[in-house]
Structures are given as structure tokens and as C-alpha cells.
Structure 1
Amino acid sequence: MRIDLHAHSNASDGTDSPAELVRNAVAAGLDVVALTDHDTTAGWREAVDALHGTTLTLVPGAELSCRVEGISMHLLAYLFDPQEPAFARERELVRTDRVRRARAIVERCRELGAPIEWAQVERIAGRGAVGRPHIASALVEAGVVESVDAAFTKEWLANGGRADVPKRETDPAEAIALVRAAGGVSVFAHPGASKRGRTVSEAAIADLAAAGLAGLEIDHIDHDEDTRVRLRGLAAELGLLVTGSSDYHGTRKTVRLGANTTDPAVYEALVDRATGAKPVTG
């Protein structure tokens, strides 16, 4: 059983539509895929509709923007009730602030000599929740950088980079409480991804475990083997589940669906803890 619990559609910063994501997951030989767009559930309905005639199981979820110890981090939320008012309001506030931030980043890029426009970024984002990857694609179109990855350096869009602008980010303990109140379960996404910038301390992860965090996403393209071994030891010490996934973004990144996967027993444990929503099978 092949289970990938972290994938994005063009409802946020992926390039596949939710329906295309489902079709590509089937083609990749997956049995289960989670749709975890940034701070939005906008792609859920289309993805569920695309399941018809397949044997694929969809795990509805989202990837939440958080900050602790002054460090940006992402929290994967699975199987929550999308209508729960407090959690829905927080996601809306984060999405609204994404637009403010993106406009400010575009202006900074222009001040730094990059010939990009807000209308260009809006076109690239389409219906998705606008974010830095869309601005990175605009920089590629303008010939400023060679690739999306090349835009995420201190020269341009990386955290603390010349064009970076702070955004609204939820305290992760608060986010975990919101997810739990909505019947969902939470997993810390790529906690050891040091190439993205500073990583959260083990002490802070222990605090999040005490607050109700269910697991750590350890098998991830941004974790080398030493990091995976260290995080597995931490997960065992804290009683956290260990997940694996691709963090697929379509053509915006090179990683493919199913590049890393989650053990079926861990998947079942996550599902058993959730009360807000259930996985959907075609």
C-alpha cells in the first residue's frame, strides 16, 4: 500500500488542478494521497469528484502557516471539519494576508530591478491562494532567475532574503488546538529542512507534542539520512507518529508523487484519531 500524505494543487501553489492531482496519483501507483494546499480547502470538492471510477483514497487536509521561536514552520492538518468556525476564520485571515504580503514582495522585487508585475503574478496564481512560488515563477518568466528554486535564495525570496516580507503565521500550539477542535490531526511538516532556513528546536517540538501534535513528517526530500535518523529518535522519545510524503507541487518542483511514503499502520493511526472528516475512496 503506497501512501503519500503531502501534495499540493493549483488551489494553492501547485501546478496540477485537484482533478489532475488525483489522476497523477493514480498514474503514480498510489493507493492514498492527501491534498494539503496552503491554508485552504478550496480544492477538496474537485478532488473528491475526480475519484469516481478509481480505487484511490483521498485524505482531505491543509498545510498551515505557523511561527514559533521566530521561525516559520508548516503544520499538516488532516481530516478536519472545514466548516468549524474558529478554524475556518483563522485560515481566512492567513489567506487574506497572503495577498498583502505578495503585493509587497512584488514591489520589493521591482525596487531590486526585477521587471515583474502584480498582474503577472495574479495570472500565474490563477484561482490559487497566491504565494511566493507564484512570484518565483514570475521571476523565471522575466529571466531574472533560471528556476523557481533559484528564486528562493537570500538574493530574492528566501526567508530573510532581500525581497522577503513577513506574513501572518499562527502560533503552532494554537493551530494544533484549532485542528483538534475541528476533529482533525496534525503533523509537523519537514521539521528538519535546514536548507529552507533555521529549524525549530527539539525543545519546541516537545512542547508541541505536549499540546497534541500527532506526528513528524520525516521521510521528505529535504531531509538527509542523518536528519531522518535524528528525527526518528526524537519521534520515538516523544511518542509521535512518523510520516513520509513527496510534498508534490506538480511541475513547480522536481519531486514526484510517491517519492516518500507513509507506513500503512501509521496512516491507520492518523485516521483513527480523526473525527472531523473521513478519507474518501473512489
Structure 2
Amino acid sequence: MHTYFSSFGEGSIAPGIVTSSSLTRRKYECDLHCHTTRSDGNDTPQELIVNAAKNGLRVVAITDHDVQPPLYLDTTNGKIDIKDFARQQGIELVLGIEFSCDTYVDDVHILGYRMDWKNPLLEEAIERMRKSKTEAYKKLCEVLTSKGMPIDYENEILKYTDENGNIRYRDPDEVERKHIFELMAKKGYAPTWKDAKIMVRDDPELNIRREKINPFDAIDLIKSCGGTAVLAHPFLIDEVIHYPDGSNLTRKEYIERLIKHGIDGIEARYVYSKTSYKGTLKDFEIEELIRTEYNGKVKFFTGGSDYHADHKKGVANPRELGEAGVTFQEFNALKEYLV
């Protein structure tokens, strides 16, 4: 039996911290939302850190989907603490996780920072999420195939060819929907992975639901592990949410309930123009709306590019490191919540 978000309870509202906004596209020194090969990114953690340094960043966050961040790296000099490696490159590394939440609503993602990454509660939750993904993504490939868009789960998703032409293998628990979307685009079933995502999302037959963590449970889990909870890219949530039981909820109502349950921050700066965002607002307009609407209701605002190193997959106009983020001055004001 599922619990719909519209039935969730109430909580407390936190005081706000005001930070400055950006009205034009620029590079930021601190990118607080990035992905690696540990989920659906294309840079290894080591490559992400090195590339951040090459691009002039001072702070970068690893926030992979539903998996703990790496604490160590295997280098030619042996095993090294990943934060020590980052410092050697002139980078301050922030460790995080991005929880995919709510079985019935797409793109409800909550970022957890500053957590106890070895907490058994977190490990148990991640194991449950892994199991829920495996069957759903295999089923999606089967349905796509039945609808005339063949995707071989075993030989094209678990076994795949990387950008250098090398044969690689994924564990079923490592598969992300974006891997399927990328293959759909590569095979010509959609112009881009973003179009493939929209196609799947908007087709009830294709939108195979996996059991995701309840967003309130995600917030509680983050806090029980000593962390800070941040709502990622809020405007990727549909403006009006339609639940299977016939109830509806607006995006604004949804976010208000997250706030009342104790979400600490909201990602205000984000590259919506390079995603599956359905609306017509410009990135800076969304930022201004978020800051105006939620100033005083959350503790702080963050920013991140949601970088995936998509250029390695030949994606045109990919999200770039530091394309969205925060200034170094803003980061220092937020640091106690993130590190």
C-alpha cells in the first residue's frame, strides 16, 4: 500500500538566510551538484576533481544518485583519502548523495550533505533502493522492445561500449534510467537523452514505477545521519501533480510540505535550460522566484550544474562544471551546512 504525498503531515518552518542572486550566465567557483561514474555521470570521481581544478573551480561536490560518495581513491601512490587528493589539486571537496524520492512524482530529488556515510541506516536504505531499481529498469527495456524500440538489457545496458570504444560491464544495481535514455538517443528512438526521458515520462506504458523513498523519510534519514537536506531543482517537479488516486497537488503545495517537514535548503541556481524542464521561464527568473518565495522559509539557498560529463557521450550543449553554483563567498557562508 502506498502513501501519497498529499496525505503527509506537518512540521516546522526554519528561518532564512538571504544570499545574492545572479541574473546572467556565468561560471561559479563552487559547484554543489555533480555526478560521477558511481551513478550516471561519465567522469570518475578522480576525473571530476581534476577537471574541476582545470576549470578554475575551488569547490566541487560529488552527489551521485542513491549511493554513498567515495571516501578513498586508488591512485598510483596507493589508497588516498579523497578529500586529501582534492586538496592536492587545489579543490575543496564536498561529499553528498542525491535521493530519488516519491514513487508517483518524477524528479523529486533531495540532496544530503555532511552525513555519516557509514551509518547502518543509510546503508540499509541504499540497499532497498538498489533492489527497487533493478527490476524496474529491466522491465522498461522489455516494454520499449515490445513497442518497437529494441533495448537489450543484458547486452546493451549491462554490457556497453564506453566513449573510447572499450567494452565495459555494469552491475544491475549500478544501472540508472539515464543509461537507458542515452541508448535510446544513440539508437535514434529520440533526438536526445532529454527527449527520451520526456517520452518515457509522458507515456503511462513506459513510465515504469519503481519504489522510491518517501521524501519525508529521505529528510528524516539525512538528519538521523547528522546531515543537511536540500531540495534539488524544484522546478523540474510538475506544476500540477496528478496522483493515481485522483488527487492533485501543486508544485508550490508540494514544496511547502517539504519545508514544513524540515528541508534545510533549496537549490536556487540550476541549469533548467539544459534539462527536461517543461516551463518557459529563464534560469535566472526561476532563481528569482525561488529566492522571493522561500526567503525566510528555509535556512539557505544553494546552486549546482548537475554536471554529468555528457560531452563524453557526444551530447550537444552539455551542462558544464560551474555553469551553475555559488560564489566562494556564498560557499563560506553555507559551509557549516555542507562540510
| TM-score (norm. length: structure 2) | 0.73
**Match among 291, 296, 321 for residue 232 of structure 1:** 291
Q: How does 1:184-223 map to 2 (within 5 A)?
A: 184-193=227-236, 201-222=251-272
Structure 2 gap ranges (5+): 1-27, 74-81, 161-168, 242-248, 273-281
Other structure's SS at 1:7 match: coil
After the TM superposition, which of the residue ranges 122-131 and 35-44 deviates more from structure 2?
122-131
- The 3 A distance-change label for structure 1 pair 149 and 23 is same
Alignment of 1:135-174 (within 5 A): 135-154=180-199, 157-158=200-201, 160=203, 162-174=205-217
**Residues of 1 paired with 2:176 and 2:184: CA distance?**
13
- Which segment is superposed worse, 89-98 or 178-187? 89-98
- CA apart distance, 1:97: 1.1
Computing the radius of gyration from Cα coordinates, the structure with the larger value is: 2
Structure-2 residue corresponding to 1:98:
133
CA distance in 2, matches of 1:65, 1:107: 22
Q: Does the residue aligned with 1:81 lie in a helix, a strand or coil?
A: coil
- Assess if the C-alpha contact under 8 Å between 2:307 and 2:320 holds in 1: yes
Alpha carbons of 1:265 and 1:234: their partners in 2 closer, same or farther (altered >3 Å)?
Answer: farther
* Count, aligned residues: 273
Shift of 1:145: 2.6
Which residue of structure 2 lines up, in the alignment, with residue 255 of structure 1?
Answer: 319
1:109 touches 1:163 (CA, 8 Å); kept in 2?
yes
Other structure's SS at 1:238 match: coil
In structure 2, the residue matched to 1:86 is 121
How many Å separate the matches in 1 of 2:96 and 2:268? Answer: 18
Residue pair 1:179, 1:186 contacting (<8 A) in 2 also: yes
**Residues 194 and 207 of structure 1: is their aligned pair in 2 closer, same or farther, counting only changes over 3 Å?**
closer
Q: Deviation of residue 137 (structure 1)?
A: 2.0
Aligned partner of 1:242: which letter?
Answer: F
Q: Is the 8 A contact 1:133 1:148 kept in 2?
A: yes
Could you give the per-residue CA deviations for residues 142-173 of structure 1, whole angstroms, max 9, x where no partner exists? 3323321221223xx22555422001211212
Q: 1:52 to 1:58 in 2, by over 3 A?
A: closer
Structure 2 Cα separation of the partners of residues 82 and 146 of structure 1? 38
2:24 maps to which residue?
Answer: none
Moved more, 212-221 or 44-53: 44-53
Deviates more, 1:197-206 or 1:213-222: 197-206
The CA deviation string for residues 75-131 of structure 1, in whole angstroms up to 9 with x for no partner, is: 011110111112221122112211111101000110111122012111247367211
Aligned: 1:3 with 2:30? yes
Asked if the contact 1:35/1:44 (under 8 Å) is kept, the reply is no
